[in-house]
Structure 1
Amino acid sequence: MKEFSTLKQMVEAVARRDVSARELVMASLRCIEETDHLNAFLTVCAERALEEGTRLDNDPSLCVGGLLRGVPIAVKDLHETQGVRTTFGSVRFAENVPAHDCAVVARLRAAGAIVMGKTNTPAFGLISETKNRLREPCANPFDPSRTAGGSSGGSAVAVAVGAVPLATGSDAAGSINVPSAFCGVFGFKPSLGVVANVPASTSLLPFISSGPLTRTVSDAAVAMDVLAGYDPRDPMSRTWPTQSFRDALSVPLQSGVRVAFSNDLGLFAVDDEVKSAVECTATSLEARGCVVHRDHPTLDDPMDLYVGLYVPDARQAGFDNPATWEELFPETLEELRIATPQSAQDYARRWNQWWTLQATMREFFQRYDVLVVPTTASTAFVHGVMPSVIGGASVKPVWTTWMPFTPIFNMTGQPCASVPTGFSSDGLPIGVLVVGAVGADALVLQVAHELLVD
């Protein structure tokens, strides 16, 4: 499938019958088999995918005009799929076969996409690495001894190795952008509510977004034109997009876009090579006519706020019950168990801090159109060995120190994209995060498109 540089080319080739949908499925299956040692998939539905490809080839009236007609895709195993096992990364749901597609999958299938399988994810998405009790940890395609990140690690690997051009992700703290950065692909977390989550999540509802992982920005724009849309069943759903994301990319980025950049937000330890990537990105945008300033919003410790909201929410969703404890990993259990108990008054105070964070970001994005920061503070680390030194500083080896940037924008509901910008001296991908104001999803994609020429 690598002979097609974009989804659009793939769909057009199927429409012209230069290639059949079944042939694309077969190519995808070969790649999945050849890269199985990376543990990207929990379930592969080969027979079903071949049947769907054959039906599309034999009946031109099916999904006619669909933006993804005949395209093999992968679905994160937190997204329900009708008739295909959905485990949520949990042994407890190892035999769960939903009767209905979730809204994300329903939209993709209606556009003609063919689901190749379900990608690896930690149990209930509750850890920043992609590991669970169902199979071995998902491995980084650039160095299998290292993590792919999480919790959409399987989706990132599936795209990185070329098994599929598009995979779904979900994100409550960086689960789209972090594995995208570690695996050298493009990831996009849209503004909260642009893509409907149905069934609605039972936890972290104000923070969760679903979005695409792709090789190119133009492919992500195609995916977003399929995925975006209001759904009254999702209490967070909104109707912000007013134009096609594909159309937005067809227009050159206007000069004068106001860009702020920071390699640490004045708060976090960051590896030098990651800092350099942010600096180079700022220089590149300035050369493209953007007005660039080194600046950042003034923030208190956002990770303290995030964890203070996340842990009680995870507990109320039942993630700390004994049945779940049996399959969670020690680092997650520790976080759920030792977080400081809060009174109702303290918990309410945190939500007031959350509103203050919202106001701070709104004010900052009155002065700037885009903020560029690192996606992660370090590159991918060895499985299970979170960094204890970042940027020469000793840090606690926990997820909040090596991925402190992305959760901020889950709390504020802002769109952000991880753009691959090159490699570290030891050959590992580095990503930078392009962040826009709430609702400025198209602008984020435009800026990313300038940086990542398809």
Structure 2
Amino acid sequence: MSSDITCFSTAREMAAAVAARRISARELLELHLERIDAVNGDVNALVSIDPDRARAAADEADARTMSGAPLGPLHGLPYAVKDTHEVADWRTTFGSVLFADHRPAHDELVVQRVREAGAVIVAKSNVPEFAAGSHTFNRIFGTTLNPWDASRSAGGSSGGSAAALASGMVPLADGSDMGGSLRNPASFCNVVGMRPSFGRVPQLPNPNIFETTSVQGPMARNVEDLALLLSVLAGPVAGNPAGHETPGESFARVDQVELAGMRFALSVDLDGAFEVDRQVAEIVTAQGAVLESLGASVESAAPDLREAEDTFRTLRAWHFQASYGELLAAHEGEFKASLADNIRVGEDLTGRDVARAYRQRTALAQRMVRFFETYDALVLPVSQVPPFPADQEYPADINGQEQATYLDWMRSAYFVTVTGCPAISVPAGFTAEGWPVGLQIVVRPNDERRLLAIARAFEAATRVGENRPTLG
């Protein structure tokens, strides 16, 4: 077979080439395995790589192609699963030494869905310990480095996924997002990451399906490929009362929309709610002119999210204590200090504290609904900083203002989390040093189709996401 497919072809181009038999799934896999061999040592994005198992899956995909049977939307595409998502009999560590040799008995739902769609799983993507923090490092696999500058962070907690995509090691990868874990690494690595509305991507098994701060979602190098993956991950499932009935396939095609007549609210810091690096602020502000060139009306405006700080930190601590409190008590020396401290904060919470956080979250969500009666979308920074030094756990300061904890610099992402709105990170520009900066676009709850359409229009106008790092 002969093909013009490369490791930086789009996922849709790759899938079409496999379906048309212009390239086999095995040939496509080998192309990506060669790329992994060439560049993964530079960035440490993929872990628990299993070429033999991937080759067997690719051969099965080719047999299906030749049989004439129906092909799934991801048929033959190499794929990376975040190392917090369980894959049957595949080393899944959650970034913790306590699970260094863990091999789950079953695939979790998102993994089942990508398999059924025909994806060929190649590896897990690196994560911070229990996905806590937006910088990807752990004691098992080490630190994931930024493909644009190996001295810088790739973000997190889906940093391995973002770095692998940017490096051309896989065309699609998944992640999860509580405080920005799909959005921050996308911004740092010049790829696209979406935090869907709660329930859009069902999470099963799940000990608390009504816990609404953490969601799973897609990452890709462009908006249309991200929509393709969302169409597989999303959709109803039996036994999930917290889900949506909208079929996942409805997201496969991204609508072409004119931004003319739309109203955008642009805010760099949500009316002074947090500090933003000067270069990031300049790049985000400049995108207002891009939107206006597309016919949109852009106003300086921001929703009132004054309760977001307390709401997010309370619910995060409560969630972490419920998830890892007993484990910490039994293995106190095996947790990184920042995560252990966060869990201990949860131990001191009362029912009154949690009730207050949920009341505040309700107020935030209702206020956002009213805000979107006036505006079609809110645009703001994804991250308050560009990629920071990889040898730091988190940025020490922003414009000289100290960042006291590993969460402080993520407010531009986690303030959006507690509104319940879907948000996407789209490449927007580069700092003077050549570090990527993304734009965060937010729309009303459950309106992912509009979000994808707006993001695609912005992406087409800027084409920043077409830039590639120099590796290999």
Q: 1:443 to 1:226 in 2, by over 3 A?
A: same
Counterpart-to-counterpart distance in 1, 2:7 and 2:158: 25
Match for 2:12: what amino acid?
K
For 1:122, the equivalent position in structure 2 comes to 128
Gap runs ≥5 in structure 2: 464-472
Match for 1:313: what amino acid?
H
Counterpart-to-counterpart distance in 2, 1:399 and 1:240: 36
CA contact (8 A) 1:263 1:270 kept: yes
For 2:181, the equivalent position in structure 1 comes to 175
Range 17-26 or range 401-410, more displaced: 401-410
CA deviation after TM superposition for structure 1 residue 59, in Å: 3.0
CA contact (8 A) 1:131 1:138 kept: yes
Match of 1:326 among 333, 339, 348: 333
CA contact (8 A) 1:83 1:98 kept: yes
1:431 equivalent in alignment to 2:438: yes
CA deviation after TM superposition for structure 1 residue 242, in Å: 8.3
CA deviation after TM superposition for structure 1 residue 118, in Å: 0.6
TM-score, L = length of structure 2: 0.90
For 1:237, the equivalent position in structure 2 comes to 243
Counterpart-to-counterpart distance in 2, 1:91 and 1:451: 42
CA deviation after TM superposition for structure 1 residue 303, in Å: 2.1
Q: 1:302 to 1:69 in 2, by over 3 A?
A: same
Match for 1:284: what amino acid?
V
Q: 1:248 to 1:218 in 2, by over 3 A?
A: closer
CA contact (8 A) 1:374 1:431 kept: yes
For 2:322, the equivalent position in structure 1 comes to 316
Alpha-carbon deviations, 1:294-319, whole Å to 9, x = none? 10001215222211121122112234
Range 213-222 or range 298-307, more displaced: 298-307
Counterpart-to-counterpart distance in 1, 2:350 and 2:248: 43
3-state SS in 2 of match to 1:404: helix
Counterpart-to-counterpart distance in 2, 1:232 and 1:188: 24
Counterpart-to-counterpart distance in 2, 1:359 and 1:399: 29
For 1:414, the equivalent position in structure 2 comes to 421
Match for 2:268: what amino acid?
N
CA deviation after TM superposition for structure 1 residue 359, in Å: 1.3
CA contact (8 A) 1:63 1:111 kept: no
CA deviation after TM superposition for structure 1 residue 354, in Å: 1.5
1:125-164 equivalences under 5 Å are 125-164=131-170
1:389 equivalent in alignment to 2:397: yes
For 1:304, the equivalent position in structure 2 comes to 310
CA contact (8 A) 2:88 2:105 kept: yes
CA contact (8 A) 1:152 1:169 kept: yes
For 1:262, the equivalent position in structure 2 comes to 267
Range 327-336 or range 215-224, more displaced: 327-336
1:75 equivalent in alignment to 2:114: no
3-state SS in 2 of match to 1:96: coil
Alpha-carbon deviations, 1:332-352, whole Å to 9, x = none? 223333579333323322221
1:186 equivalent in alignment to 2:192: yes
Q: 1:337 to 1:384 in 2, by over 3 A?
A: farther
Match for 2:34: what amino acid?
R
For 2:450, the equivalent position in structure 1 comes to 443
For 1:59, the equivalent position in structure 2 comes to 64
3-state SS in 2 of match to 1:438: coil
Q: 1:335 to 1:56 in 2, by over 3 A?
A: closer
1:279-290 equivalences under 5 Å are 279-290=285-296
Match of 2:30 among 17, 26, 29: 26
CA contact (8 A) 1:182 1:428 kept: yes
3-state SS in 2 of match to 1:55: helix
Range 42-51 or range 4-13, more displaced: 4-13
For 1:405, the equivalent position in structure 2 comes to 412
Counterpart-to-counterpart distance in 2, 1:76 and 1:366: 36
CA deviation after TM superposition for structure 1 residue 384, in Å: 4.3
For 1:107, the equivalent position in structure 2 comes to 113
Q: 1:201 to 1:292 in 2, by over 3 A?
A: farther
Counterpart-to-counterpart distance in 2, 1:426 and 1:352: 43
Which aligned runs of 4 or more in structure 1 are off by greater than 6 angstroms? none
3-state SS in 2 of match to 1:326: helix
Match for 2:395: what amino acid?
P
For 2:466, the equivalent position in structure 1 comes to none
CA deviation after TM superposition for structure 1 residue 212, in Å: 1.1
1:42 equivalent in alignment to 2:50: no
For 1:12, the equivalent position in structure 2 comes to 16
CA contact (8 A) 1:77 1:118 kept: yes
For 2:372, the equivalent position in structure 1 comes to 365
Q: 1:159 to 1:242 in 2, by over 3 A?
A: closer
CA contact (8 A) 1:129 1:149 kept: yes
Match for 1:329: what amino acid?
K
CA contact (8 A) 1:274 1:378 kept: yes
Q: 1:339 to 1:49 in 2, by over 3 A?
A: closer
Q: 1:324 to 1:42 in 2, by over 3 A?
A: farther
Match of 1:341 among 345, 348, 352: 348
Q: 1:22 to 1:395 in 2, by over 3 A?
A: same
Counterpart-to-counterpart distance in 2, 1:338 and 1:307: 9
3-state SS in 2 of match to 1:70: coil
CA contact (8 A) 1:56 1:62 kept: no
Counterpart-to-counterpart distance in 2, 1:10 and 1:42: 23
Count of residues paired in the alignment: 452
CA contact (8 A) 2:234 2:248 kept: no
CA deviation after TM superposition for structure 1 residue 410, in Å: 2.1
CA contact (8 A) 2:155 2:184 kept: yes
Range 63-72 or range 157-166, more displaced: 63-72
Alpha-carbon deviations, 1:373-410, whole Å to 9, x = none? 100000111124333331x3412242332211211232
Counterpart-to-counterpart distance in 2, 1:22 and 1:286: 45
